[in-house]
Chain A
Amino acid sequence: MFRMLLLLATIILPIPLSAQPLPVGCEANFAGGTLPAVDAKHSAQSQTVCYRQFAILHSALTKTPVWSAEHLTAQRVGAASGLARKGTFHAETRIPAAERADLIDYKGSGYDRGHMSPSGDMPDGASQQESFSLANMVPQAPCNNEVIWEQIESAVRGYVTAGHDVFVVTGPIYDGATVATIGNNVAVPTRIFKAIFEPKSGRAGVYVTANNNDVSEYATFTLAELQEHTGIDAFPSAPSGTKGRAMELPLLSAPHHACRAAR
C-alpha cells in the first residue's frame, strides 16, 4: 500500500527543476559530488547548467549565476596555463531569452562581463569558450575584475599548482533592499565571493570583495559566515569544523596596480 502511494505521489507531484538528474559527469564539479545548497529565495526561478569543466546555478531574478562551481587539480591548471586566452562572449541559449542576460545589457554599462569560473582555469579551447557564456558572468566593476579579482584567481591557481586539489565556488552577493541593474534588469552584485575547499587537508575559506572601483583588498570569511550572509552553503559535504574555520587564503605577492575606471 505504501509503495503504491509513493508511486502515485511520484506520478502526481510535478518534479521541481532542481530535482531533475544532472548530466553524467556534472557531479565532478562539486566536493563530495554535492551541489551547493541554497535557500528558497535563491532557488526560486533558478536553473542548473552543466558545462565541460564547471557548472552554474542561474537565477532568472538577477540574470546572473547564483554560484559557479569547478574542481581544480594541478593537472588541469597546468593544461590551462599552456592555453592562450581566446573566446567570444555569448548569451546562454540553454536559458530562455526572457530570463537571461544578453550582450546588449552589458554594452556601455561601465561594468565588465566578469567571469565567475575564470577562463584562465579552463584546460582546453572548448571549455574556455563555454566559460564566456553570460550565464557564467556578473556585472563586475572593472577595477575589481581587472586587478584584485584577477590576482585572486591567479593566487588560487598558484595554490593548486603547488599540489593542492581544491573545489571552488564563486558567485555574487546582493546586499540591501534594492540593487543596481544594468540593461534589462541584470542585477549588479554589491560584493563577489570565491570559496575554496581542499577536502584532503580540511582547509577552506572565502575571499569576499566589494564590487566597486575603489576596492583594493578582500575580506576572509569562513564557509559558515558566507552562508549567514548569503544563504549559500558552498560545500555541504565539508565537515562543520572546516566550515567554522577560515584558512589563510593564498595571495600572490604581486604589486598592487593602481586602477581608475574610465569616466
Chain B
Amino acid sequence: MAEPDFTPFENDVESVGCEGLTVENGTDAIALYGRIKITRDQQGLQHALWLRDFANAVVARLSAEKDLPDHTAGPKLTGSMKNPFA
C-alpha cells in the first residue's frame, strides 16, 4: 500500500486505487474519485500516507512544468449519429 506506483501525467491508460479511491492517470488530466475511510489505526495511517504521496507526486510534477496554463481547453465537441437501435 506504500506510495502510488505511477508517474503523474505519464500516460492515458493506467489506473490504480487505494481502498475505495480510484486514480486514472492521463497526459492532460488525472481523475481521483471514490470514497475512503481513514480509520484511527495502522491501516488508516497507510491510507493517509498513500494520499500524501499521491498529492506530493502530482504537486511536484505540476510545479516543475514550464508555462503551466491557467486552464487547459475544455472537452472536444461531441458528434452525432443516427441511433442504430431506434
Seen from chain A, the residues whose Cβ lies within 8 Å of a Cβ on chain B are 41-42, 44, 59, 61-62, 84-90, 103, 107-112, 119, 132, 142, 146-147, 150, 154, 174-182, 185, 187-188, 230-231, 254, 257, 262-263
Say yes or no: A112 contacts B16, CB within 8 Å: no
Q: Determine whether B69 belongs to the interface, using a CB cutoff of 8 Å to chain A.
A: no
- Given A177-B83, A178-B81, A181-B80; A109-B15 close (CB under 8 Å): no
Say yes or no: A180 contacts B76, CB within 8 Å: no
In this complex, the member of A85, A177, A257, A262 whose beta carbon has the largest number of chain B beta carbons within 10 angstroms is A85
Say yes or no: A110 contacts B75, CB within 8 Å: yes
- Nearest CB in chain B to that of A113: its residue: B24
Report B-chain residues with C-beta under 8 Å of the C-beta of A146: 22, 31, 33-34
How far in angstroms is the closest Cβ of chain B from A248? 23
* Docked complex Cα distance between A119 and B23 (Å): 13
Say yes or no: A179 contacts B83, CB within 8 Å: yes
Say yes or no: A88 contacts B15, CB within 8 Å: yes
Of the residues B29, B79, B82, contact of A262 by C-beta under 8 Å: B29
**25 A–B contacts, CB within 8 A, in A order:** A41-B85, A44-B84, A59-B84, A62-B84, A62-B85, A85-B16, A85-B17, A109-B76, A110-B75, A119-B15, A146-B22, A146-B34, A150-B22, A174-B83, A174-B84, A178-B80, A179-B83, A180-B79, A181-B80, A181-B81, A182-B79, A185-B79, A185-B81, A187-B84, A262-B75
Say yes or no: A231 contacts B85, CB within 8 Å: yes
- Nearest CB in chain A to that of B82: its residue: A178
- Nearest CB in chain A to that of B79: its residue: A181
Q: Determine whether B68 belongs to the interface, using a CB cutoff of 8 Å to chain A.
A: no
Q: Determine whether B3 belongs to the interface, using a CB cutoff of 8 Å to chain A.
A: no
Say yes or no: B80 contacts A179, CB within 8 Å: yes
Say yes or no: A86 contacts B81, CB within 8 Å: no
Say yes or no: A41 contacts B84, CB within 8 Å: yes
Report A-chain residues with C-beta under 8 Å of the C-beta of B34: 146, 150
Report A-chain residues with C-beta under 8 Å of the C-beta of B16: 84-86
How far in angstroms is the closest Cβ of chain A from B49? 15
- Nearest CB in chain A to that of B35: its residue: A254
* Docked complex Cα distance between A87 and B5 (Å): 12
* Docked complex Cα distance between A254 and B34 (Å): 11
Report A-chain residues with C-beta under 8 Å of the C-beta of B75: 108-111, 262
Say yes or no: A180 contacts B85, CB within 8 Å: no
Say yes or no: B80 contacts A180, CB within 8 Å: yes
* Docked complex Cα distance between A118 and B29 (Å): 22
Q: Determine whether B63 belongs to the interface, using a CB cutoff of 8 Å to chain A.
A: no
Report A-chain residues with C-beta under 8 Å of the C-beta of B74: 110, 262-263
